[in-house]
Amino acid sequence: MVPELNGGGIWAFLAALLPAFVMMAYVFWYDKVHPEPIAMLFKGFVCGIVSTAMIFSLRRYFPAYFDWAYDGDSVLDLTKTAFFYAAVPEETVKLLMLWILVSKNPFFDERFDGIVYAVSVSMGFAALENVDYVYFHGGTDWGSIAAIRAVLTVPGHYIYAVAMGYFYSIAKYIPQKGWRRLWQLSFIWAVPVILHGTYDAIAINKYHNDTVNIILTIGLFAFCYTLHKLCNRLIQKQLMADCEATNKKNKLA
């Protein structure tokens, strides 16, 4: 059931979009010294929307893979679903869009910029995904679905993006050689996939019984809270590195 456009439908649409814009604004607020052009952030957001459309297309045109990934309701099967149905394809297309956005971007001139652009892409993805869940499939329960996704799901995409952007900037500004370079590049993709898959595995496994539901719900909130604190540390670390680099340039000038 699709919410009607007048009344609940409009509110459902806004409720689906608002969390993504809040997360983008939160990160952009930190980018004060050399803020990225709004046009580039908009491009990142559009790239994220494209990545969501790519996932919808992949699920339509490659049903064999997604049927394999989304098969069974045991703990092992649901964990497989969390990683291979959601985390692997979603973080892969988001990384592809991030690379397209920043590979020849002259404005990507600070370590914190990797986080800014990764979040803009991820929030575009989260916004369209949220519209699909809340507006098109929320029905009369769209309010509770929007609230849960605003508190957990959209911030989850933000967390994966901070990790992706952090390691992308590390690979750009502190490149290693040989096998260390391959290891370094793998972190850009692997860490968001692990975080995303772990989150989804906890979320979808908590419906087996009431006791498991309570334990894993508490665990999910604890997991998200811990990762948010980690994200803030990564943000501060990149900001401090940029500040030190700017001070060094000013001394040499």
Q: What confidence score (pLDDT) does residue 207 get?
A: 65
What is the length of the chain? 253
Per the CB < 8 A criterion, the answer to whether 125 and 52 are in contact is: yes
Q: How confident is the model at residue 79 (pLDDT cuts 50, 70, 90)?
A: very high
Q: How confident is the model at residue 83 (pLDDT cuts 50, 70, 90)?
A: very high
Q: How confident is the model at residue 208 (pLDDT cuts 50, 70, 90)?
A: low
Long-range contacts: 216-223, Cβ < 8 Å, 24+?
Answer: 220/152, 221/152, 223/198, 223/199
Mean pLDDT of 149-160: 94
Tokens standing for 241?
Answer: 């590195």
Per the CB < 8 A criterion, the answer to whether 202 and 152 are in contact is: no
Please give the C-alpha separations between residue 163 and each of 95, 168, 232, in angstroms, as whole numbers. Answer: 11, 8, 11
- Least confident segment among 78-82, 138-142, 165-169: 138-142
Q: What confidence score (pLDDT) does residue 69 get?
A: 95
d(CA 139, CA 143): 9
Q: What confidence score (pLDDT) does residue 60 get?
A: 94
Exposure string of 151-187, with b = 16+ CB inside 10 Å and e = fewer, is ebbbbbbbbbbbbbbbbbbbbeeeeeeeeeeeebbeb
> pLDDT (tens digit, 9 = 90+) per residue, 102-147?
999 999 999 999 999 999 999 999 999 999 999 887 777 889 999 9
d(CA 59, CA 133): 16
Per the CB < 8 A criterion, the answer to whether 193 and 88 are in contact is: yes
Q: What confidence score (pLDDT) does residue 6 get?
A: 38
Q: Is the pLDDT of residue 8 over 60?
A: no
Q: Is the pLDDT of residue 3 over 70?
A: no
Q: What confidence score (pLDDT) does residue 11 get?
A: 86
Domain ranges in the chain? 5-252
Q: Is the pLDDT of residue 214 over 90?
A: no
Per the CB < 8 A criterion, the answer to whether 15 and 150 are in contact is: yes
